[in-house]
């Protein structure tokens, strides 16, 4: 029997230097946001809690295989959920993994999915301030995302405008389970504001909108449900393209987070092929879908694809475009990617640096 020895993908040969585009900060206690929430909403939260379009008021519809969807080793000794301790985040992740910049992606409460729009908006405002006060101010390597409640377009635009120019924020954050496909016109003021603020839009797995996770009904098992995030991302990208969002906002930049990578070339080819057949329906598209995607869409790398051979992985990157890939770990979640081992291929020093650092540096305009 041959024992598979862990081969470092090479990153470890030199000192690690990475930009992690997907880190999930958590609250030790939800009272952490009290200072940033009006009393009305503190009360509301205690009395009514989350009000979403699924069966459990606080839990996700499909229980995960790992509690809190987290690495088992990411629980702080002092208590609190994974991702709630800056100290542990430093010693377990930022320091040893050479994180020079880390993008915060707060997921609690699904503010964009709250059925009570005012409540959702209040949560986004509070969580945005909380990211800065609790995290960025204490750890200069971290950056915040402008979380918005996209169903209230006006409030979303106001929040984007309020944070625009604040160097603590690097992007706008939306979860893909929007009420309607995100390319639809009701959301366009958000794209306009993004362009105006020169902030990219990050679309990170999550949210809940009442639609089954497949076009043919609900998944039964977590194993199914977990994989539907890739198809959900395909749908949202398809919508952005065919609604003409990229055509109308050529300055807009979008990064798809945690949706996987394997589907990108096939979906892009599929869009091109059927657009060429059906373009009379979407005359507002002036160019093949692939061109918009190639110019205006980026993807984070986690969960890294693990094809049968290294050559297949390299071929996949070739076909997506190496400059479109932004490294991410998803810390502290269970499907975390370790920068040393995630790429199961022999990358050159330059390729490694591009994936782990250079692409994100250029994308976010970091020094």
Partner 1 sequence: MARHVVATVDDIPAGQRMLVKVGGREIGIFNIGGEFFAVSNRCPHEGASLCKGRIVGLVESSEPGSYQFSRRGELLRCPWHGWEFDLRTGKSWCEPDRTKVRSYDLKVEPGGALVEGELQAETFPVVIEKQYVVIEV
Partner 2 sequence: MADGEMANAKGPGRYAGAIDCDLHPAVPGMNVLLPYLDEYWREMVSVRALDRLNLALTSYPQNAPLSCRPDWKLADGEKPGASLQAMQEHVLDRYQQRFGILNCLYGAQVMHSGDMAAVFCRATNDWIRDEWLSRDPRLRASIVIAAHSTEHAVAEIERRADDMRFVQVLMLVSGEVTLGRRQLWPIYRLAEKHGLPVGIHAGSAYRYAPTAVGWPSYFVEDYVSQSAAFENQLQSMISEGVFAKFPGLKVVAIESGLTWLSGFAWRADKTWKGVRAEVPWVTRAPSEIVREHVRFTVQPIDATDEAAAILRLIDHLRSDELFLFSTDYPHWQFDGDAALPDGLSASLLRKIVSDNALATYPRLVKADRAMEIAV
Question: Residue 203 CB, nearest distance to partner 1 (Å)?
Answer: 24
Q: Does 77 bind partner 1 (CB under 8 A)?
A: no
Q: Does 47 bind partner 1 (CB under 8 A)?
A: no
Residue 153 interaction partner, one of partner 2, partner 1, none, beta carbon < 5-8 Å per kind: none
Give the residue from 61, 60, 30, 35 showing the smallest Cα distance to 46. 30
Question: Residue 12 CB, nearest distance to partner 1 (Å)?
Answer: 10
Containing 174, the helix (H) or strand (E) segment is strand 169-174
Looking up tokens 């995630």 gives 342
User: Residue 42, Cβ neighbours under 10 Å: how many?
Assistant: 17
Nearer to partner 1, 89 or 190 (CB): 89
Give φ, ψ of 218 to 5 degrees: -85, 145
Stretch that binds partner 1, among 180-188, 254-262, 286-294, 339-347 (CB under 8 A): 339-347
Question: Residue 341 CB, nearest distance to partner 1 (Å)?
Answer: 4
Q: Does 260 bind partner 2 (CB under 8 A)?
A: yes
Q: Cα separation of 126 and 45, whole Å? A: 13
Q: Does 72 bind partner 1 (CB under 8 A)?
A: yes
Tell me which DSSP letter residue 325 carries: E
Given 241, 252, 313, 342, the residue binding partner 1 (CB under 8 A): 342
Q: Cα separation of 201 and 147, whole Å? A: 10
Stretch that binds partner 1, among 48-56, 106-114, 280-288, 337-345 (CB under 8 A): 337-345
Token digits for 127? Answer: 């969580």
Token digits for 85? Answer: 């301790």
Are the beta carbons of 145 and 106 closer than 8 angstroms? Answer: yes
Given 105, 121, 160, 267, the residue binding partner 2 (CB under 8 A): 267
Question: Residue 331 CB, nearest distance to partner 1 (Å)?
Answer: 11
Question: Residue 366 CB, nearest distance to partner 2 (Å)?
Answer: 30
- DSSP-assigned beta bridge partners for residue 173: 147, 202
Question: Residue 202 CB, nearest distance to partner 1 (Å)?
Answer: 24
Token digits for 276? Answer: 């060429």
Give φ, ψ of 171 to 5 degrees: -165, 170
Q: Which residues bind partner 1 (CB under 8 A)?
A: 1-6, 65-66, 71-73, 334-338, 340-342
């Amino acid at each position: 029997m041959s024992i598979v020895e862990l081969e470092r993908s090479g990153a470890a040969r030199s000192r690690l230097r990475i930009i992690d585009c997907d880190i999930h900060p958590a609250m030790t206690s939800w009272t952490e946001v009290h200072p940033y929430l009006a009393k009305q909403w503190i009360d509301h939260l205690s009395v009514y809690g989350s009000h979403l379009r699924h069966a459990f008021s606080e839990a996700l519809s499909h229980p995960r295989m790992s509690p809190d969807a987290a690495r088992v080793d990411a629980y702080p000794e002092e208590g609190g959920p994974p991702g709630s301790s800056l100290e542990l985040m430093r010693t377990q992740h930022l320091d040893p993994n050479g994180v020079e910049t880390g993008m915060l992606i707060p997921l609690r409460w699904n503010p964009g999915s709250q059925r009570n729009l005012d409540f959702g908006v209040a949560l986004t405002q509070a969580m945005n301030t909380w990211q800065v006060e609790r995290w960025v101010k204490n750890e200069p390597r971290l950056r915040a995302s402008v979380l918005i409640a996209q169903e209230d377009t006006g409030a979303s635009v106001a929040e984007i405008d309020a944070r625009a120019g604040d160097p603590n924020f690097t992007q706008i954050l939306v979860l893909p389970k929007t009420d309607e496909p995100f390319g639809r016109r009701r959301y366009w003021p958000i794209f306009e504001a993004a362009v105006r603020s020169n902030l990219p839009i990050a679309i990170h797995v999550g949210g809940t909108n009442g639609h089954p996770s497949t076009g043919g009904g609900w998944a039964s098992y977590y194993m199914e449900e977990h994989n539907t995030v890739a198809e959900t991302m395909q749908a949202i990208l398809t919508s952005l393209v065919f609604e003409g969002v990229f055509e109308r906002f050529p300055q807009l930049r979008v990064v798809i987070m945690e949706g996987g990578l394997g589907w990108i070339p096939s979906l892009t080819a599929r869009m091109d092929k059927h657009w060429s057949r059906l373009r009379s329906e979407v005359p507002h598209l002036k160019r093949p879908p692939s061109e918009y995607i190639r110019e205006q869409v980026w993807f984070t790398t986690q969960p890294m694809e693990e094809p049968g051979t290294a050559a297949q992985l390299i071929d996949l990157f070739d076909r997506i475009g190496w400059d479109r890939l932004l490294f991410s770990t998803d810390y502290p979640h269970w499907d975390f990617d370790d920068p040393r081992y995630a790429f199961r291929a022999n990358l050159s020093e330059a390729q490694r640096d591009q994936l782990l650092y250079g692409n994100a540096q250029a994308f976010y305009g970091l020094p």
